[in-house]
């Protein structure tokens, strides 16, 4: 895959603050949906991973996030959440994400997720690593 993975999200009243603009924490939920759908499209459904599909129950947690809020979104906007894989480490995956409206990036983020088993970081299983290697990559 060469183009970013994309998920569409509509902004609802519940996503906004008293000013009618999207509340900053709502962007975290939008980006979580983008990462979750990327995993699902790679054949890595989080519920299956937690149930042991990779040999042992595991899941991903956000370890670090760097966010640049550039412009606000408003109620009823149709947004696209773009996600690419920037780097694959031993136990982590770095992703680049953007919240886009009509081709304009409103929010950009760098996200590091870590593979966790029994409450501790663990190396990515080889089959999981192979799936991430098939993901859209950051240029």
Q: How many CB atoms lie within 10 A of CB 18?
A: 6
Active site residues: 17
Distance separating alpha carbons of residues 99 and 33, to the nearest angstrom: 11
DSSP letter at 139 equals -
Question: What distance in Å separates the CA atoms of residue 43 and residue 97, rounded to the nearest whole number?
Answer: 20
User: Of the candidates 77, 65, 83, 63, which has an alpha carbon nearest to the alpha carbon of residue 6?
Assistant: 83
């Amino acid at each position: 895959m060469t183009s970013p993975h994309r998920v569409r999200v509509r902004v609802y009243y519940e996503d906004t603050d008293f000013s009618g603009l999207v509340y900053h924490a709502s962007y975290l939920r939008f980006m979580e949906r983008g990462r979750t759908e990327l995993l699902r499209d790679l054949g890595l459904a989080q519920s299956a991973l937690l149930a042991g599909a990779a040999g042992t129950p595991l899941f991903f947690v956000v370890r670090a996030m760097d966010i640049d809020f550039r412009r606000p979104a408003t109620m009823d906007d149709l947004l696209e959440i773009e996600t690419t894989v920037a780097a694959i480490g031993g136990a982590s995956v770095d992703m680049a994400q953007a919240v886009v409206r009509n081709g304009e990036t409103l929010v950009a983020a760098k996200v590091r997720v870590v593979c966790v088993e029994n409450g501790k970081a663990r190396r990515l299983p080889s089959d999981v690593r192979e799936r991430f290697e098939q993901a859209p990559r950051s240029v």
